Amino acid sequence: GEVYELLNALEERLGSANSGVVLAACKAFLHLTLHLPATHQQVLERIKEPLKSVVGRDDPGATYAVLAHVLLLAQRAPIIFENDYPTFY
């Protein structure tokens, strides 16, 4: 129950204008759901759009950090970004 309350509290942070806040929220989402496989899969789907929006910003440092995270996530769950590769190029 507490995990879902935390996820709900962090939900609006995924749309933040600050790239660091978005990445921290994504990390918290992933960390909090590691022991909940079904929820973890839903979280992977949920964080795709915020990550793609950070990549589209005009901040090379944030773009690099997000792409490094996307690489790790794609290695963990290869099909999660299979339709989104053009976004990252």
What is the pLDDT at residue 63? Answer: 87
pTM of the model: 0.82
What is the pLDDT at residue 31? Answer: 92
**Which tokens is 37 given?**
């496989």
Q: What is the mean pLDDT of each run of 10 residues along the chain (89 residues)?
A: 89 90 92 88 89 86 87 84 75
What is the pLDDT at residue 89? Answer: 67
CA distances from 72 to 6, 19, 27, 36, 47 (A): 24, 18, 12, 19, 14
What is the pLDDT at residue 29? Answer: 92
